[in-house]
Amino acid sequence: MQVIELSHHIGGELVAGEAQLAQYNPADATDLKVAIPVADAALVAKAVASAEEAFGRFRDQGIEARSDALARVASLINAQSDELARLIARETGKTLGDAKGEVGRAARIFSFFAGEALRIVGERLESTRNGAMVEIEYAPKGVIGQITPWNFPIAIPAWKIAPALAFGNTVVWKPSELSSATGAALMAIIAKAGVMPGAVNMVLGAGETGAAICSHPGVDALSFTGSVATGKKVRMAAAERGVAVQTEMGGVNALLVLKDCDLNSAVETALNGAFLAAGQRCTATSRIIVEEAIADAFVERLSLRISEHRLGDPLDTGTHIGPLASKGQKELISRQSAAMERHPGAQLVFGGSAEALPECFFAPTLFDHAKATDPIAQEEIFGPVAAVFRVADYEAGLAMVNDSRFGLSAGLCTGSLKYSEHFKRYARAGMLMINLPTAGIDYHVPFGGVGASSYGAREQGRAAKAFYTHTRTTYLKA
Ligand code: UN1
């Protein structure tokens, strides 16, 4: 078994610590163990001090130096793409193909923000007082605390770290304890690319380390992606100290399939959204809402297509679906699926918790005839579990899409302009997908939801500027 011993990364130095947490290859625990030290509040304070100390100097390096550094990170990610993808597959169970795609996306995000660093456009207006001028500038906020999840172990850190640096901020970052080796690999690339030491500091650990970042008075803004429960704690900590916060959390995303759709492509859309990446995407489809007239044919075809998908070793290129990320996730998803299986009404058509699979594998699981009162209608299941809800028509389907406290991504499969226009207007979600899966988003446009899914300014694309800068208004008279 390979053992990777990790260290924190503060002010350009590796800081060792006693390993207190471990992550194993979820497809084969005998293959890889990642040994993780845990940063306590004192070590987090050192990381914040390093980021504070680097802040002014980093900003004053200027936009071209920042842009060049981000571009170098992008090329190094590309140069190491095979080895990064293998590490992601072994550490988190993501299939090699998905992992490669994610690594490429992370590189593109760094390239995108290398460009954005050169385009921090301000405004200059005449003052209402004759002879005076007003300038509006977008200045860095300072030290940004970032907490990232394991399901996109390099792309989500990329879409938080790259804009933070592009706009001149410095960072204290904690990757998930389930993807810390990937985090450390990205950190090594950031250092090798010559990003100023102290501009990005990585502390490892779990909830307490995250809490120490959130409550540290030197942190000027908090960006979090993860669970609903932790997101709330991050917001409370930010409110307590009065700093900016953005939290990206879950979804119980719905795909509404109308009878006028192209059935085969709607099935592929549902399959991709619900089961690829083992359903471990906050944008994954868990509610597939189908017009009754085509529901039998849809469920039959979807079941067939699921059966054609191979569950297996993420490193094997023939594998479509890998394991869940950890034993803990498997227990959670099994419990949630079992609750659905026991629930009167909904029928299990595929998979389920009774299938005893090795390691962290969980079978793709599909229910039919689910009702609005079933657990899966309201609670996020972060795994390959989805349910078909049958509805009489578009109106009933739209009402069901909107019957959720979440609102991240909502999809519609239809051939009708009338329904897609109506859906765009009335579906309650931050991201709408017409004839596309609810999951799988672009990096150059805003990302985020409404309701319990997201809080604060949007991430990604040009929208990232709103979170990573503050607006400064200067009055000038010669
Ligand atoms: C995607 O659907 O491509 O944690 C990205 C997540 C989201 C990212 C989804 N923040 O799953």
Is 360 catalytic? The answer is no
Answer whether residue 300 shows pLDDT above 90. Answer: yes
CB proximity list for 249: less than 8 A, separation 6 or greater? 225, 226, 227, 228, 231, 282, 452, 453, 454, 455
Q: What HEC string does 415-433 produce?
A: CCHHHHHHHHHHCCCCEEE
The stretch 222-249 carries a mean pLDDT of: 98
The strand order across the sheet containing 123-126 reads: 123-126, 132-140, 469-477
Q: What is the mean predicted confidence (pLDDT) over 176-201?
A: 98
3-state secondary structure of 278: helix
What topology is assigned to 2-249+453-477 in CATH? Aldehyde Dehydrogenase; Chain A, domain 1 (3.40.605)
% pLDDT > 90, the chain: 99
pLDDT of residue 242: 97
Tell me phi and psi for residue 475, to 5 degrees: -100, 130
β-sheet bridge partners, residue 2 = 32
The overall average pLDDT reported for the chain is 98
Domains of the chain by residue range = 2-249+453-477, 253-434
Instruction: Identify the residue whose C-alpha is closest to ligand 1 atom 3.
Output: 440
161 neighbors 467 (Cβ within 8 angstroms) = no
Q: What integer is the mean pLDDT of 235-256?
A: 97
Q: Give DSSP secondary structure letters for 226-244.
A: S-HHHHHHHHHHHHHHT-E
> What band does 23 get if pLDDT is binned at 50, 70 and 90?
very high
Give mean pLDDT, residues 86-112. Answer: 98
Q: Is the CB of 440 under 6 A from ligand 1?
A: yes
CA dihedral 17, 150, 142, 464 (to 10 degrees): 170
Q: Is the pLDDT of residue 299 over 90?
A: yes
Could you tell me the pTM of the whole model? 0.97
Task: Please give the structure tokens belonging to residue 359.
Answer: 């390691």
User: Residues 326-362: pLDDT tens digits?
Assistant: 999 999 999 999 999 999 989 999 999 999 999 999 9
Element housing 386 (H / E): strand 385-391
Which residue, among 142, 119, 216, 236, has the nearest Cα to 174 in the 3D structure?
Answer: 216
Looking at the chain, the whole-number percentage of residues with pLDDT higher than 70 is: 100
User: HSE-up of 86 (CA within 13 Å, CB side)?
Assistant: 5
Which residue from 94, 281, 286, 408 has its CB within 8 A of the most atoms of ligand 1, so it is best to mutate?
Answer: 281
Active-site hit among 214, 261, 282, 413? 282
CA distances from 473 to 126, 127, 137, 339, 477 (A): 12, 11, 6, 55, 13
- Residues 140-170: tens digit of each pLDDT: 999 999 999 999 999 999 999 999 999 999 9
Catalytic choice (116, 177, 248, 291): 248
Q: Give the nearest ligand 1 atom to 282 CA.
A: 11
Q: For 246-255, b where at least 16 C-beta lie within 10 A, e where not — what string?
A: bbbbbbbbbb
pLDDT at 86 over 90: yes
Residue where the block lists tokens 């659905």? 340
The model's pLDDT over 278-288, given as tens digits with 9 standing for 90+, comes to 999 999 999 99
Taking the CB of residue 29, how many other CB atoms lie within 10 A of it?
16
447 - beta bridge partners? 459
Q: Tell me, in angstroms, the distance from the centre of ligand 1 to residue 376's CA.
A: 19
Confidence of residue 125 (pLDDT cuts 50, 70, 90): very high
Out of 3.40.50.720, 2.130.10.10, 3.40.30.10, 3.40.309.10, select the CATH number for domain 253-434: 3.40.309.10
Predicted confidence band of residue 398 (pLDDT cuts 50, 70, 90): very high
Q: Which residue is listed with tokens 């991050």? A: 234
pLDDT of 218 above 90: yes
Question: Is 248 annotated as catalytic?
Answer: yes
Q: Give phi and psi for 168, each to the nearest 5.
A: 95, 15
CA–centroid distance, 156 to ligand 1, in Å, is: 8
Alpha-carbon distance of 197 to 184, in angstroms, equals 15
Q: What is the per-residue pLDDT for 345?
A: 86
pLDDT digits 0-9 by tens, 406-428? 999 999 999 999 999 999 999 99
* CA quadruple 150, 178, 326, 310: dihedral sign: positive
